[in-house]
Amino acid sequence: MRTDTAPIQMVDLKTQYERLRSDIDRRILGVLESTAFINGPDVTELEQDLEAVLDAHVITVANGTDALQVALMALGVGPGDEVITPSFTFVATAEAASLLGAVPVFADIDPETFTIDAASLESLITSRTRAIVPVHLFGQSADMDAIMNIANRYAIPVVEDTAQAIGSTWKGKAAGTRGAFGTLSFFPSKNLGCYGDGGAVITRSDELAERARLIANHGSRKKYHSEVVGINSRLDTIQAAILQAKLPHLGDFTARRRDAADRYDAHFADIPGITTPHRSPHSRHVFHQYTLRIRRHRDLMHDALTAAGIPSAIYYPVPLHEMPVYASNPEAHVRVPLPETERAAQEVLSLPMHTELTEGQQARVAECILSA
């Protein structure tokens, strides 16, 4: 195989933009010419097109963190309530609960999928539990059968953090559409990303959709007539236009990522000390990240890649329950041991993963890792 000598990016947004440039530029120019920068027609069209893809209501918001907050607000989460979430995730998952005065309660993860462990989740439920927030991490759905069985038994609503998993499914159903709410992020590096911040709330409930839209718009349906306390969270029209240009390519984006994951799998098959990403037979993995487990000397492997000019990342080096904001907070609840979370933080290493990754680039990544 001819070696590709082009610089390797963790996420190559520039090459993807160049491939889609004509439509993206045309749509951005259309917004500039219309001057409909807030709540322009592209926003409505994007919501409608996403609704067709997900078979659910879609309310676009300013970012993925706002999406979580709006969903929790719509469910009435507030001071003194408890929200169960995995500790092995980005801080926004717990932060949204904390901003409402609720207490994040941290569950352990399944060691194969890195998603919330159902047994750990159920052990944490109390009379104060107000919501469960599983995270479809790295592009793979959590076990939604087990989660929904528990949630329904205790009558606790579920908010699916689908920031990394648009296009993923659980037994054929779109990730983010099984719970009361799902949430999306359109951060530039996401599988469907804009060129700034953006997010969305998903729900199949007419009533919850109406409430979420109300909350995201200052609590008002009619201008200057607020009905409830809300927030100001809206997707800019320019970002909606960019997403409109990209949305028709989402299936291709997913296929490219899955093909790249297959090539990585082949490079690292049966290598002692390295575990490739598990693919649940019930979930369609869309590979927002390609994350290895390195059982020994993970940090040395990370350093070797850096020295060779190859990017890699550790998602996540510090579990949420060990971060200063929660470790030092007497209200933060760590009620059960979290051994799999802590082990994952010591072993995970994410490799370059994006739609423009070439076989030659992947061969260089693999060669460096195998040499190390």
Contact 295, 306 (CB under 8 A): no
Residue ranges and CATH numbers for the domains of the chain are: 14-248 (3.40.640.10), 249-371 (3.90.1150.10)
CA distance 302 to 310: 9
CA distance 111 to 344: 7
Phi, psi values for residue 357, rounded to 5°: -65, 130
Band of the pLDDT at 202, cuts 50, 70, 90?
very high
Contact 198, 186 (CB under 8 A): yes
Q: What percent of the chain has pLDDT over 90?
A: 94
Average pLDDT, integer, range 77-90: 97
* pLDDT at res. 270: 86
Band of the pLDDT at 1, cuts 50, 70, 90?
very low
Q: Which two tokens stand for residue 355?
A: 């739609």
How far CA 299 is from CA of 309, 313, 315, 320, in Å, comes to 15, 10, 13, 20
CA distance 279 to 294: 17
Contact 109, 115 (CB under 8 A): yes
Per-residue pLDDT of 145-154, as tens digits, reads 999 999 999 9
- Is it the case that residue 107 has pLDDT exceeding 50? yes
Beta strands in 67-125 (DSSP E): 82-86, 103-107
Per-residue pLDDT of 117-168, as tens digits, reads 999 999 999 999 999 999 999 999 999 999 999 999 999 999 999 999 999 9
